[in-house]
């Protein structure tokens, strides 16, 4: 399986455009750092409560990242519900796996369908299993859960965690309150739909369980208010799109492929921390503009989808959702063609990527747990390519990307 990177020398069309707009956002945010922090935090919780149809915003806990939120949740479930392991898809982010380990738990992996869902029969086989938790991410957008699968989730005797890091603030997998031990986790990170400067939240759908999490309330958590680390980080990101800056500072791609990158990484221990005031302010700003920006893209993305289908075939759009359900654009490309297409787009200055490297193939997890093979996760990973269509992508960039795709046949013939 080919996992080679194809980085552009000079990035003109970035995967996460908003990271290059952070400087002005940070300036405006810093000017308000002496404001009423409680008002900012409560305003953010209110907005989240609206999305999740939660009447009591005190059921929402703010953290500095989704990883912090999941670590805190699993630590509580381990101590008060005696859970020992987490069922999660092998096609998952390593941040998620490290959060499970940081909470002192083990994990079992399950395979996914082409809709990035767990197989129904597998979930049904877990009815009656206790001392565990079941985690179901909404990958690459807002993905509603089929009623039959939701019925089975309600029958589980273990807590269910809906990971909405890649869907918020679009429609979540679960809304409202329930007597079941259901939880949701969201992210405001730069690679997520909201694409801000970090932060996340935990949503407790069962009101009776809310008292378990008082240690993670806004009043109890420590909130670091220094703005300088963010300003320094976003300035470095601003400059990192230039090849000369990456070369001077050693920021070139250090690994030729994703497999080599994972071989070099280690498990990261995490400690839950509260959201900062600057993170909360930026998340609120991004929420205000999200829907307007997505509405603007509806006019231009269909032309790009038509170009993809006519150039690479209808199966290319297998992973694509409607524009109000998706930010990053995942397309399906045979593995033997992915590197060639990525290299072609890199010549045009287009940044592409692919993930997630299945957890059952990563040595540091295989050595620690008994992880079985997940063949569909391997296939999905080998065929996915992410194009830089995000919340902030301007229409002119979408049109240029459409033109590049339509010109691919000519490039392929010349090559």
Give the Cα separation of 251 and 238 in Å (integer).
13
Q: What is the pLDDT of residue 279?
A: 87
Q: What is the pLDDT of residue 169?
A: 93
Q: What is the pLDDT of residue 390?
A: 82
pLDDT single digits (tens) 234-269: 666 666 656 555 555 544 456 788 888 888 889 999
Question: Are the beta carbons of 149 and 334 closer than 8 angstroms?
Answer: no
Give the Cα separation of 76 and 381 in Å (integer).
32
pLDDT single digits (tens) 53-66: 999 999 999 999 99
Task: Give the rounded distance of the alpha carbon of 77 from its chain centre.
Answer: 23
Give the Cα separation of 338 and 3 in Å (integer).
9
H or E stretch including 88? strand 85-89
Q: What is the pLDDT of residue 251?
A: 45
Q: What is the pLDDT of residue 20?
A: 43
Give the Cα separation of 126 and 182 in Å (integer).
16
List, run by run, the mean pLDDT of 10-residue segments along the chain (415 residues). 83 69 48 66 95 96 95 96 96 96 96 95 96 96 94 97 95 95 94 87 95 75 57 62 55 71 88 88 85 74 94 94 84 94 94 93 91 94 93 88 94 68
Phi, psi of 384 (to 5 degrees): -95, 140
19-216: CATH topology is: 3.40.640
Which residues 6+ apart lie within 8 Å of 292 measured at CB? none
Q: What is the pLDDT of residue 225?
A: 56
Which residues 6+ apart lie within 8 Å of 303 measured at CB? 398, 399, 402
Percentages (nearest 5) of helix, strand, coil residues in the chain: 45, 10, 40
Q: What is the pLDDT of residue 224?
A: 53
Q: What is the pLDDT of residue 410?
A: 84
pLDDT single digits (tens) 300-314: 899 999 999 999 999
pTM of the prediction?
Answer: 0.90
Q: What is the pLDDT of residue 22?
A: 46
Angle, helices 395-406 vs 301-312, to 10°: value is: 10
Q: What is the pLDDT of residue 363?
A: 93
Cis peptide before 169 (omega within 30 of 0): yes
């Amino acid at each position: 399986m080919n996992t080679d990177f194809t980085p552009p020398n000079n990035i003109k069309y970035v995967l996460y455009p908003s990271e290059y707009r952070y400087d002005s956002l940070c300036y405006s945010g810093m000017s308000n750092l002496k404001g009423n922090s409680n008002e900012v935090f409560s305003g953010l919780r209110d907005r989240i409560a609206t999305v999740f149809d939660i009447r009591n915003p005190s059921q929402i806990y703010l953290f500095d990242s989704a990883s912090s939120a999941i670590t805190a949740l699993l630590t509580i479930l381990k101590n008060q519900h005696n859970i020992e392991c987490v069922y999660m898809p092998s096609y998952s982010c390593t941040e998620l796996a490290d959060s499970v380990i940081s909470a002192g738990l083990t994990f079992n992996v399950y395979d996914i369908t082409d809709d990035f869902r767990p197989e129904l029969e597998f979930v049904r086989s877990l009815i009656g299993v206790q001392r565990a938790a079941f985690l179901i991410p909404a990958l690459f957008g807002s993905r509603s859960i089929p009623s039959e699968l939701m019925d089975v989730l309600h029958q589980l005797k273990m807590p269910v965690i809906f990971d909405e890091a890649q869907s918020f603030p679009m429609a979540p997998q679960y809304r409202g309150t329930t007597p079941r031990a259901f939880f949701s986790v969201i992210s405001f990170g730069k690679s997520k739909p909201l694409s801000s400067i970090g932060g996340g939240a935990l949503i407790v759908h069962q009101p009776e369980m809310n008292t378990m999490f008082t240690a993670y309330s806004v009043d109890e958590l420590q909130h670091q208010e220094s703005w300088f680390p963010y300003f320094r980080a976003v300035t470095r990101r601003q400059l990192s799109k230039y090849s000369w800056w990456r070369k001077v500072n050693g920021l070139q791609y250090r690994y030729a492929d994703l497999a080599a990158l994972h071989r070099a990484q280690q498990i990261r221990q995490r400690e839950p921390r509260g959201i900062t005031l600057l993170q909360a302010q930026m998340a609120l700003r991004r929420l205000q503009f999200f829907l307007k920006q997505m509405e603007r893209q509806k006019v231009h993305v269909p032309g790009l989808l038509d170009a993809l289908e006519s150039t690479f075939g209808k199966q290319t759009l297998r992973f694509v959702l409607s524009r109000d359900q998706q930010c990053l654009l995942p397309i399906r490309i045979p593995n033997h063609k992915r590197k060639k297409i990525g290299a072609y787009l890199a010549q045009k200055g287009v940044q592409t990527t692919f993930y997630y490297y299945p957890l059952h193939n990563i040595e540091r997890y295989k050595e620690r747990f008994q992880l079985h093979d997940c063949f569909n996760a391997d296939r999905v990973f080998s065929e996915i390519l992410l194009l830089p269509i995000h919340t902030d992508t301007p229409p002119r960039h979408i049109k240029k990307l459409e033109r590049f795709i339509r010109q691919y046949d000519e490039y392929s013939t010349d090559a």
